[in-house]
Amino acid sequence: MAGKKFVYAFEEGDGKNKMLLGGKGANLCEMTQIGLNVPPGFTITTEACLAYLEHDELPKGAWEEILEHMKALEKKTGKQFGGAANPLLVSVRSGSAMSMPGMMDTILNLGLNKTTLAGLIKLTDNPRFGYDAWRRFIQLFAKIALGIDDKPFDEAMKAIKEKVGAAQDIDLKAEQLAELSEQFLRIVKDHTGKPFPEDPYKQLEIAIGAVFRSWNGKRAVDYRRQFKITKEMANGTACNIVTMVFGNMGNDSGTGVGFTRNPGTGENQIYGEYLVNAQGEDVVAGIRTPKAIAEMEQDMPEIYRQLLELRNRLEGHYKEVQDFEFTIERGTLYCLQTRNGKMNAAAMVRTSVDMFKEGLISKEKALLRVDPSMLEQLLVPQLSPNFKGKPLATGLPASPGAASGKIVFDADTAEARGRAGEKIILVREETKPEDIHGFFQAQGILTSRGGKTSHAAVVARGMGKPCVSGCEAIHIDDVKKCATIGDTTLHEGDVITIDGSTGNVYAGEVPTVQAKFNQDMATLLKWADQVARLKVMANADTPEDALRAREFGAMGIGLCRTERMFNATDRLPIVQEMILAESLEERQAAIDRLLPIQRSDFKAIFKAMRGLPVTVRLMDPPLHEFLPTAAQLELEIAHLHHLRDSLKALEELPETLKLLNPKLYMQYADGLAKLSRSMTEFKDSHLEEDVIQKKEKTLKKVRALAEVNPMLGHRGVRLGITYPEIYKMQIQAILEAAALCAKEGIEVYPEIMVPQVATVEELTRIHKYVRDIHQVVQLTHGINVGYKFGSMLEVVRACLRAGRMAEDAEFFSFGTNDLTQATFSFSREDAENKFLPHYTEVGILQDNPFEVLDQKGVGELMKLAVSEGRKTRPDLKVGICGEHGGHPASIHFCHKIGLTYVSCSGPRVPIARLAAAQAALLEQGGEVAKNA
């Protein structure tokens, strides 16, 4: 790496190069260069970080560059690093290309020692400020650079506050902070065996290494895994050395966090919080509950005016909602950081629409800046408006949405119980970055301290999880694992509900209602439909599902699974009769009873989707899925045999009891007589034998239908060919339902789809059923119903024979769940339960292929099938109806290979609509905005 540049002053760094300078460093450079009041500093690159992590030392030449820039910093500020008269102190701050709030480390007030502390106190004539900065630096440096836990420092702080009767840290006086600092120094020596490092340059060298190492810290690694941040997106953290400015120098100083718009609602109004006489960590850590920025207009009117000006300049320059940090030092405002604001889905959608209408961004940018998967947040249930319960307590509405779950008081327990399938609410005094693994498993977050820009609020908003912060009425005892609110005590495992939209906390589980589209979301998705080429269908099996899908904007049904209808309680006995039939006549009798039921189902769905296509998949699962399992039947038969034997014994009980205990017999004579009559009736009706025989007959059939590998067995089209009467009934029901709708003037577009096809001969045989039945329906109803006939492509051989398949099929639909299983030779359930998580963790696979479409394997089969199919039939309609149909990256691939549509579950339709639009815009050269 000889000759490579590792350090850039803020005046020279390229503000667009976030991969090299990290998001924080790049933005500090850019803000400096556009004339904002940024404290002087420089950035050490991510390349230096990667070299450090590989060799456990800075790359050759990097330290010399750092020393040169420190000298330049002394010159710019007129201060001396380590100097006794006018000491220069710096912050050492992390920052990767992708925003990872609180996941890596920062050290403030670096450069303090006994000498510089005395100089700082003399210079400011403020001993309290000096000792406050000193004790903060010792604890932060000890934790991050020396690996000492916060606990002994926190205990020392608690003890001294109790000793002098101080309610908060800010109430401690200079002499008490001086005493505390000495205790902190002793803690460091006790834990390390060495005194706290006095040499500022040694402090700097150690701190830079600690910041670099935090890239591989557990919380940072967990965060990248959870949000799928790859090395191509962010690799290593930069390290920013920034001149300290102090918000804890008195009542004309302060610190805060601001958003250029409200990150919870998207309202076009400055939003944020600040604390007077504090440092930045106090706001984000939630140690003190801060004030809303709106109050600054009264407290510091001139600073408030400057803050509004800063807000307008940031948003005007970046053309994006900004999350910025600021410090006020003795009446002077400094901007310490800016980044694209992490917002929930409601705010992202509203700001996209508003910023376009304001002329700040184009319609294309408005569509590209919203992550489609975020839209799921807008469709989660909300608290029922009819619920009138009284809240236990009210905090700050930090992240919208409602969540119910069992209380847990630490992140480790949250992770364990969440992974076990329990719904939990993480309850803390304040959360720390180390709690991130608990966030992933929690339904929502509740804190007793902190504001709307605290760590808990920011991270919860980014995840789209409800959060109530600063709920000061709740007193938490981590040791006893309980919380008290007035007279109410809540223990770990008790259920509560939090409403992040109002800040209310309720006991127990509160009823919820389905969310509805708001106008901003409807507008954005209307724009999306105008630019998308891919159509978005829904997977729906009932009229209710179909109507809901239309509300979500589905352009038809791409998959209606007929077997789902068979499982309804009024149909399942008939289906079981069909399966257990011992002759064709018996089977046909059951099928004749099913025909009007299926016809009614299809008619209702066609009505719900009037004017839009409905693709009906003929029956797919193996027959044994409609019967009880062998183990269940064996257990029931054993119980029945036991019951029969017990009844026999009971028959003899009255006479036996009369002989043994006449008095007891008289007491129970009436009951025994009734029981005896019941037993006689039961026995005379031969009911017990009938039930046992029926169960044994079913067990025999279940065993006969048993398969070694049912997913590759007697299912789909194979059933339709061996039991043609089943498929013929379904085809008749579909076409008759369409004919009845057409007679009523309802526009219908039925499509009949055959599952599990592997050979052309299978397809042509089913196509003949359809043609023959269509002719009969046409003659019977006097109306020619149009329809399309097509095949699912979920068998590898079918993909390879797509050109020939297209001679019969007018459309294809990729069933990517089964196609993925077949391509990988993975059993989905076994793979996901046993080895897939390990495969993704160690990098054998980048993603779970059942969640993210495997483009290199499954995708190549799809490309081949599309190409070969359209050589035969140029107007071939091709779609996808597996779960990948609602996954944004998979949708982009579907667009790329020329599919006609995607089909997904109803609630994912909005996600797919936006993803389809983004795929079209990206093809034209657009760029998705990164929240960095």
- Count of C-beta atoms within a 10 Å radius of residue 761: 9
Angle CA 366–372–374, to nearest 5: 105
Bridge partner residues of 789 (DSSP)? 752
Task: State the Cα–Cα distance between residues 241 and 106, nearest whole angstrom.
Answer: 10
Task: State the Cα–Cα distance between residues 869 and 417, nearest whole angstrom.
Answer: 49
- Count of C-beta atoms within a 10 Å radius of residue 526: 11
Q: Which of 180-216 are b and which e, b meaning 16 or more Cβ less than 10 Å from the residue's Cβ?
A: bbebbbebbeeeeeeebbeebeebbbbbbbbbbbbbe
Lateral strand order in the sheet of 482-485? 475-477, 482-485, 488-491
Using the structure block, give the residue that is written with the tokens 């724009």.
527
Angle formed by the axes of helices 46-55 and 18-33, nearest 10°: 140
Sign of CA dihedral 194, 200, 205, 211: positive
Length of the chain measured in residues: 932
For 843, phi and psi rounded to 5 degrees? Answer: 90, 10
Task: State the Cα–Cα distance between residues 183 and 155, nearest whole angstrom.
Answer: 11
Please write down the HEC assignment for all residues of 835-851.
CHHHHHHHCCCCCCCCC
CB-based contacts of 15: which residues, under 8 Å, 6+ apart?
Answer: 21, 26, 27, 29, 30, 33
Query: DSSP class of residue 712?
Result: G
Taking alpha carbons only, the member of 787, 816, 818, 813 closest to residue 802 is: 813
Task: State the Cα–Cα distance between residues 50 and 461, nearest whole angstrom.
Answer: 30
Yes or no: say if 400 and 264 are a contact pair by the CB < 8 Å rule.
yes
Task: State the Cα–Cα distance between residues 371 and 928, nearest whole angstrom.
Answer: 8
Using the structure block, give the residue that is written with the tokens 């009425």.
473
Burial of residue 533 (number of CB atoms within 10 Å: 0-12, 13-18, 19+): middle
Which residues are tagged catalytic?
Answer: 455, 881
Q: How many CA atoms lie within 13 A of 439 on its CB side?
A: 27
Task: State the Cα–Cα distance between residues 111 and 92, nearest whole angstrom.
Answer: 11
Task: State the Cα–Cα distance between residues 530 and 433, nearest whole angstrom.
Answer: 42
